[in-house]
Structure formats: structure tokens, C-alpha cells
Homo-oligomer: A and B are copies of this chain.
Amino acid sequence: MQQAAERCNQILATKINAQPEISRLKTAMSYSVTNGGKRFRPALTYMTLTALGLPEEKGDDIAAAIECIHTYSLIHDDLPAMDDDDLRRGKPTCHVQFDEATAILAGDALQALAFEIIADSTQLSDAQKVAIIQVLSKASGPAGMVGGQAHDLDSEGKQLNQSELEAIHNRKTGALISACTEMACIAANAPEHIRSTLKDFSLTLGLAFQVSDDIIDITSSTEVLGKQQGSDHELDKATYPKLLTLEGAKDYLNQLKDKALTLLNQAQLNSSEQLVTLTHFVADRDH
């Protein structure tokens, strides 16, 4: 994880430094992108490539692009008109640190930069770039992440059942997480059966990540969270502990972990040790 984060941070710093200095835009982009995230998606990308027998360099541009998309979505989700969060990873959110207009534009700029990074890549063929942009645009667009966020906002205060909640999360966070393994498979020219098994794996892992986040949101302190403790719970949002009780959510998380590990086994990868460890990291975080 640490190595993946350092790798990705370096690429991102280079890409953002290459942008012109305009108003506070670049500073805001840089502030949000370097805001100490775990770099879970880059780690998943690099580890998938390693599992497929490819060098990590092959994943640099994919990891940077997906982190640009992820960061832009956090900046926009934190806006007053959306989740209205003041803290993110223990630091003021982008619109608090700068202003709302700058935060909207920094998000917009990071989305464009994600596609620019893939198109400019020297690590990928044209065919791979096109396939990756197909995956990334769909995963982040109306059928994926943005659609999930719209659905999520719409469901505040509504009584959702588990399958409705799952449909939201599969779009809101799952689509981008499964895009990581999809794009790594494209970069590695992996056969279709591995790509589809790893897609199921990463969707399961993404769901586990969400269930785990929901649990942590109510069991950890504000200090550990880096945002207001219980903020999702209080916002009258549907969460797994609310739906299944805290114990039920923990049981479900364990089921998801087992499913993810079974899928990894089925994929018969060259070396799946890192992905196994990552799965445990997601499911066994300090609850």
C-alpha cells in the first residue's frame, strides 16, 4: 500500500506541476490530490498488474488517472450543495480551504486531467488507451459514479432495502474500484475470463470497502476518521449498520471477504499474495 501510494503520489505531483499556474486552481488541485489519501485504487491497480506478471510502471498512468477521478468526486461530494463536509482526511475540505467556485473548478479540472493522462501515456498502445478511456468514462459517468452519487443524494431520508443500497454503492464506489482491475487487465492484455472474474472480485471488494466505511463511521472517533464521527449516520443516510445492525454489518463484511478471496482463487493468477493482503486490509480494518 505504502509503495503504491508513493509511486502514485510522485506521478500525480509531476502531472499537476506540469499544469499552468492559474489563479488558485492548480494550488487547489494539488491540495486535494495530496491530501493524504490511502491510495486504495492505485494500490489495487498496481497489485492487479503484479498479479498478472507485469511491471508496476505499466500502471502509473492508470493509477494517476483514477486518483484524479476519485479526488474530483470527493471535492464535489463535499460541497455545501451535496454532503456539506468541512473536514476530509483531517484537513479542511477544498471549498473550505479555498472557496466554492475554486472547488467546483478544481474538480472539473481533475476530471479532464484524468483523461489527458491516459491519452498522453507513453506506457500504453492506442488500442489500450481507447479501451481504458471507455472503461474509465463509463465507470465515472452517469451509469457509474456520478449516477450513484445522484441516486444516493436522492435516497436521503428514504427507507432503502439492502439490494437498493447495494445498487447505489455498486455505482457510487464499486464502478470506479472495479475499473481499476478492468484497466489493469486491459494494460496486461489479460484473457476475458480473468478480466471478468477480477471484475466480480473488485466489485465485492468495493462493497466490502463501503460496509467497512459505514462501520468505521460509527465506531471510530472524529480524530481517527479525519471527519466528523457519525456524520453519514446522522445525515439520515442509509448505511449497513442501520440496515443490518452493527453486528449484522460485521457478519456481512466477513461474507464479502470470503467471497472476494474465493474469486481471487478462481482467477488463478500468477501471484495473488498482494491482492489477498489487500482484501484482508479492507475487511479487517480497525473496527
Contact = CB atoms under 8 A, between A and B. Distances in A.
A100 B252 CA distance: 35
Interface residues of A, number: 53
Given A109-B141, A141-B116, A142-B112, A150 B23 contact: yes
A11 interface: no
A285 interface: no
A263 interface: no
Given A133-B133, A153-B101, A20 B115 contact: no
A130 interface: yes
Interface in A103-126: 104-105, 107-109, 111-113, 115-116, 118-120, 126
Given A29-B142, A79-B104, A147 B22 contact: yes
A150 B23 CA distance: 6
A102 to B, nearest CB: 7
A81 B99 CA distance: 8
A112 B126 contact: no
Contact of A116 (B22, B112, B113, B138): B138
Contacts of A138: 112, 116
B153 A137 contact: no
B150 A137 contact: no
A163 interface: no
SS of A interface (majority): helix
A130 B128 CA distance: 10
Given A111-B112, A141-B113, A142-B112, A133 B119 contact: yes
- Most chain B CB within 10 A, of A72, A107, A113, A146, is at A146
Interface in A132-178: 133-134, 136-138, 140-143, 146-151, 153-154, 171
Given A72-B108, A115-B136, 15 more contacts: A22-B151, A22-B171, A29-B142, A81-B100, A101-B150, A105-B149, A108-B111, A109-B142, A109-B147, A112-B138, A115-B137, A116-B134, A118-B133, A119-B133, A129-B130
22 contacts: A19-B141, A19-B147, A20-B142, A22-B148, A22-B151, A23-B154, A24-B154, A25-B147, A76-B104, A101-B153, A102-B150, A105-B149, A105-B150, A107-B108, A108-B108, A109-B142, A109-B147, A113-B137, A115-B137, A116-B134, A116-B141, A120-B134
